[in-house]
Chain A
Amino acid sequence: MTEASSPEEPPAAPNGAKPFLDVRNVVKEFPVTHGAVLQRRVGVVHAVSGVSFTVKSGETLGLVGESGCGKTTTGRMIVALERVTSGSIFIDGEDIARMSMRRVRRKRRDMQMMFQDPYASLDPRMRVVTILREPLAIQGIGTRPEQEERVRDLLNDVGLATSSMDRYPHEFSGGQRQRIGLARALALHPKLIVADEPVSALDVSIRSQILNLMNRLQTKYGLTYVIISHDLSVVKYMADRIGVMYLGKLVEIAGGEDIYARPAHPYTNGLVSAIPIPDPDIERHKQMDAPKGEIPSAINPPSGCRFRTRCPRAQPLCGQVEPPLRAFGPDHLAACHFPLRDPVEAAA
């Protein structure tokens, strides 16, 4: 029934509520070219290869995986900084993958991106007031005094003094710059924020300040978050559910406790076991199942299950048939032929 419905129409979630963000079978391929002048197309990078998930309004989804697994590309497609090769991305019921660039630009108010390195994403020659006014000016919102009033509110929201307005990015510490980055993301009252490694560049003592701030603002404004990070501990603290990606595929998605304590996919299990726990009694006695070797090239991904070249459980079938996502509990999906736990029986 849902399969047959028009692709423009997002399906209703099982509980009847429409998800705020509905990513459906999204594919992104980047051409690989050779030669400086006459660029020949010599192949294609399969950055994201058919990823689907939903996020409810006000919910936080975390995306984790090794570098090169496609998490940043997925995030960039959600905020339309990157157009999809195929598939749909419904935001609040509208498919941004099928929108004209002009409509996308208007829609972009609703979804904003927060970057890892706030320094690289803030123009060093602009004062903070200009940086924060810019999105309002581009969208033609308010008079100049109104815009400056909004900047003051934003600074207040992210815990920076109003006197910061006249200063330049280099005059701030890393944590303060990330606060400016967050203020800029909030300027247009977005509904969804995609945060790509929001605290990875920060010191551990500063990280929790930013994470707590993000949580407070989520409650205050009813924000929906997609938080991308290679740090599963950060993601587990922030997210309601976590998606694990490997080489362009979503291999498992579940609540944080399930991902940590009851993973079904061997890759999730390996990733979890590789994360150092700050307790020598646990850290020295835990079973280490960290995957051996390195992530293969996304130009020629392995056939069947893409994880099979590093998987301790791989069988011949894994090279022949791509494992589909199966249910391992309520809100828990994983794609593996020989999972660590039994899938739940499909409902009769």
Chain B
Amino acid sequence: MSNVLEIDGLKMHIRQSRVTVKAVDGVSLSIAPGETLGLVGESGCGKSMTGMSIMKLLPNGGHIIEGSINLNGRDVVPLSEKQMRRIRGQEVAVIFQDPMTSLNPTMNIGNQLGETLRIHREASDDEARERAVEVLELVGMPRPRERLHDFPHQLSGGLRQRVMIAMSLVCSPSLLIADEPTTALDVTIQAQILDLLDSLRRELHMAVLLITHDMGVIAGRADRVAVMYAGKIAEQAETSTLFKRMRHRYTEALVEAIPRLDQETTAELYSIPGLPPDLAFPPKACRFAARCRFDTDICHQVEPPLLEHEPDHLYACHHPAGVGASQSDPLVAV
């Protein structure tokens, strides 16, 4: 079956008064129907801006300067704002970390859901209300009919996120972008919301772009993973491949820096020195080189290309982990 989403060579730069932030700098991704692609990386690496580029909801000064974004076979890059308004909600919807930013605080839940429905479809008041109850039921809202009269602030963070998911599902989009949907929630509620997203994806055969900084969430929920660093994809593979055979030294460092519940850790945790680069002035060669334990001269001179070095496994690293000690591990080689 053809992919719901195919992004090819996307560059989205943000022009500011003095500098241009290269927030997304040559990203290619695809997601099949019913598939979850995890997009993981540190904050500021361009995950959200990739998601917002698909919606074409760009910040002030933001422009897509190169590349295509095919959604159900149609490139949305050249589309007008008016055309995009139809596509948002119908074909692609987004949920954020803080649902309050997208919910109207002065409107009750029933009216908000009804309004979303009426924007996209002809529906009478009664039909809208029934559909609202239906989607609230679908997202596991307890006593949905009573909730129609509640305002967002009367709900807990977890219930608000359920309402947000309900709003995004009203028009059955084929792609759902979930940008850190559970970062603000307790782990117990996170598990519930991620279960919900999983079951909705399966039932509705939706494609999901799951944006997160949490490698644990990726391990449990993503079919495939793209690791992003400084505006670019560093590594991409099927989830179990990525964790079993991580190649890029950034992926490796990211996982090593997390304390793990299932491991007795007595030694010092590995920590990645320094900070990600300023995307107004990204390094010319490997963007991770300044923080990498395995960098050699070539890393600072030549940008490693993102290539399919192994079947369905792409990475951009001159000294990948676990690929023959002599080339992969320069520390061993010298």
Q: Which residues of A contact B (CB under 8 A)?
A: 66-67, 173, 175, 203-209, 211-212, 215, 230-234, 236-237, 257, 260, 270-272, 274-284, 288, 290-294
Q: Which of B42, B190, B191, B214 has the most CB of A within 10 A?
A: B191
With contacts A208-B259, A276-B219, A277-B216 known, what are 11 further pairs, Cβ within 8 A? A207-B257, A209-B271, A211-B269, A212-B269, A234-B259, A275-B216, A280-B219, A281-B243, A290-B191, A294-B159, A294-B189
Task: Give the distance to chain A from B291, nearest Cβ to Cβ, in Å.
Answer: 8
Q: Give complex CA distance A292, B158 in Å.
A: 12
Nearest residue (CB) in B for A231 is B187
Task: Give the distance to chain A from B68, nearest Cβ to Cβ, in Å.
Answer: 31
Task: Give the distance to chain A from B14, nearest Cβ to Cβ, in Å.
Answer: 20
Task: Give the distance to chain B from A156, nearest Cβ to Cβ, in Å.
Answer: 18
CB contact between B262 and one of A205, A260, A292, A293 (< 8 Å): that residue: A260
Q: Does B272 contact A (CB under 8 A)?
A: yes
Q: Return chain B residues, CB-CB under 8 Å to A234.
A: 259
Are A208 and B257 in contact, CB atoms less than 8 angstroms apart?
yes
CB contact between A233 and one of B156, B189, B255, B258 (< 8 Å): that residue: B258
Are B220 and A208 in contact, CB atoms less than 8 angstroms apart?
no
Nearest residue (CB) in A for B271 is A208
Are A294 and B265 in contact, CB atoms less than 8 angstroms apart?
no
Q: Return chain B residues, CB-CB under 8 Å to A290.
A: 187-188, 191-192
Are B271 and A203 in contact, CB atoms less than 8 angstroms apart?
no
Q: Return chain A residues, CB-CB under 8 Å to B262.
A: 260, 277, 279, 282
Q: Give complex CA distance A173, B220 in Å.
A: 31
CB contact between B186 and one of A67, A276, A279 (< 8 Å): that residue: A67
Are B268 and A276 in contact, CB atoms less than 8 angstroms apart?
no
Query: Known contacts A204-B42, A257-B264: does B219 contact A278 (CB below 8 Å)?
Result: yes
Q: How large is the interface on B (under 10, 10 to 19, 20 to 34, 35 or more residues)?
A: 35 or more
Q: Give complex CA distance A211, B268 in Å.
A: 9
Q: Does B332 contact A (CB under 8 A)?
A: no
Are A271 and B253 in contact, CB atoms less than 8 angstroms apart?
no
Q: Give complex CA distance A205, B253 in Å.
A: 8
Task: Give the distance to chain B from A312, nearest Cβ to Cβ, in Å.
Answer: 13
Closest 5 CB pairs of A and B: A276-B216, A237-B259, A208-B271, A278-B215, A208-B269
Query: Known contacts A275-B187, A281-B240, A294-B158: does B257 contact A204 (CB below 8 Å)?
Result: yes
CB contact between A276 and one of B42, B214, B243 (< 8 Å): that residue: B214
CB contact between A278 and one of B43, B188, B216, B273 (< 8 Å): that residue: B216
Q: Does B275 contact A (CB under 8 A)?
A: yes
Interface residues of B in 64-120 (CB under 8 A from A): none
Are B216 and A204 in contact, CB atoms less than 8 angstroms apart?
no
CB contact between B260 and one of A66, A173, A233, A292 (< 8 Å): that residue: A233
Give 25 pairs: A residue, B residue, CB < 8 Å, sorted on A.
A66-B187, A175-B275, A204-B213, A204-B214, A204-B257, A206-B272, A207-B257, A208-B258, A208-B259, A209-B273, A212-B268, A230-B187, A231-B187, A233-B258, A233-B260, A236-B259, A274-B190, A275-B261, A277-B219, A277-B262, A280-B243, A283-B220, A290-B187, A290-B188, A294-B158
Q: Which of B217, B239, B272 has the most CB of A within 10 A?
A: B272
Q: Does B218 contact A (CB under 8 A)?
A: yes
Q: Give complex CA distance A102, B300 in Å.
A: 59
Q: Return chain A residues, CB-CB under 8 Å to B272.
A: 205-206, 208
Query: Known contacts A270-B188, A279-B243, A288-B191: does B43 contact A203 (CB below 8 Å)?
Result: yes
Q: Give complex CA distance A284, B243 in Å.
A: 13
Q: Give complex CA distance A233, B258 in Å.
A: 8
Q: Give complex CA distance A282, B215 in Å.
A: 13
Q: Return chain B residues, CB-CB under 8 Å to A284.
A: 219-220
Query: Known contacts A208-B257, A233-B260: does B214 contact A271 (CB below 8 Å)?
Result: no
Q: Return chain B residues, CB-CB under 8 Å to A231.
A: 187
| 0/1 string, B296-319, CB within 8 A of A gives 1 | 000000000000000000000000
Q: Return chain A residues, CB-CB under 8 Å to B243.
A: 278-281
Nearest residue (CB) in B for A66 is B186
